[in-house]
Amino acid sequence: MLYKPFKNEVDFLSFIHFDETSESIHWDYKQSFNSNNLEDIAIDLAAFANTFGGILLIGVAETSKDGRKVASGFIPNIDIEFIRKKIHTQVRDLISPNIEVQVVPIVVNSNLIAAVNVEPSVNLVGVCLNRDRLQYCFPYRTEFGNRFMTYEDVEKRMIDNRSRSMFLKLKKHIVGNNSVVIYPNPRGGRPSKWFFEWIENSDDVFKLVYDNKYSVNLPFSSVHEVWPGDNHTCLRLNHQLYCGQDYIDFEDSERVQSMKLMQSILNRSNRK
């Protein structure tokens, strides 16, 4: 699930409740902005960008409760302009490639905080760990804070970049109404209506449901195009999956089987 940026007091109070709301995959608390340790700030922002986006809440105090860090109050004297300047210059200089960041001042119950909204990045984002820019770390966000990718994780993410790109596109198009029309073959064939379902905390696979009876999981990389239609979203599946009425046999046999299952569902429905 993608994050919702905090823009005002209502957004903050809708999600953050003192002594209850713990840090999560979508937000983190910072009691103060330490300009002597900008690397930690860069890691927080990059972790959000590498996952589903998120918000760094500066000026929110925290305490431990049942092994989790929960919001507990406000810290006074937050300098928004100082924070904005540091983040848009020195902090972003540590992050490569560039990420989309917005520092928003929010007054909550007469207390000023900084909500640093970070958009999810299509590209893998790294944080420079030394001045020579020879060493980078690649953080990501979990429900329990930041973690760091292994070499194998980084390699997989680079390969799966198209899948993540399509995941982010679909997140922007499919909001509320999850009805989709599938165009299975760019060279012909009738479009078919399905219902799109997100799989929680997955940026690899989604579910399509047909006629409330049949369902199939597909990788995001199997979607070639997405565009808005009338009261639905249009999807065109990757033409490489098709060769006339047959399927091209390539390495990802699981994906081929998923596509065959989709076609068999449609065939059964058409025979009724």
The answer to whether residue 138 is domain-embedded is: yes
Chunked mean pLDDT (size 10), the chain, 272 residues: 88 94 94 90 96 95 91 93 95 93 96 96 88 80 92 82 83 80 60 84 81 81 83 76 43 55 63 58
**Which of 158, 190, 215 is at the close of a domain?**
158
Q: Which of 158, 187, 216 is the last residue of a domain?
A: 158
Structure tokens at 148: 């760091």
Task: Give the predicted TM-score (pTM) of the model.
Answer: 0.71
Same domain (yes/no): 261, 212: yes
What is the β-pairing status of strands 27-30 and 54-58?
Answer: parallel
Q: Say if residue 154 is in the same domain as residue 168.
A: no
Q: Could you tell me if 189 and 250 lie in one domain?
A: yes
- Assess whether 154 and 20 both reside in one domain: yes
Work out the angle at residue 168's Cα, subtended by the Cα atoms of residues 154 and 115, and round it to the nearest 5 degrees. 90
Residues 192 and 154 in one domain: no
The verdict on residue 4 lying in a domain is no
- Around 106, how many Cα atoms within 13 Å sit in the side-chain half-sphere? 25
pLDDT of residue 70: 94
Query: Cα dihedral angle (237, 243, 246, 247), rounded to 10 degrees?
Result: -60
User: Which CATH number belongs to the domain containing residue 149 in this structure?
Assistant: 3.30.950
170 and 136 in a common domain:
no
209 and 81 assigned to the same domain = no
Query: Which pLDDT score, from 0 to 100, does residue 171 have?
Result: 83
pLDDT computed for residue 249 by the predictor: 40
Q: Domain boundary at 113, 137, 158, which? A: 158
Same domain, 149 and 47: yes
Q: Per the structure block, which two tokens stand in for 98?
A: 């560039």
Same domain membership, residue 140 and residue 39 = yes
**Counted domains in the chain:** 2
Q: Is residue 3 part of a domain?
A: no
Q: What residues make up the domain containing 115?
A: 9-158
- Are the CB atoms for 44 and 146 separated by under 8 Å? yes
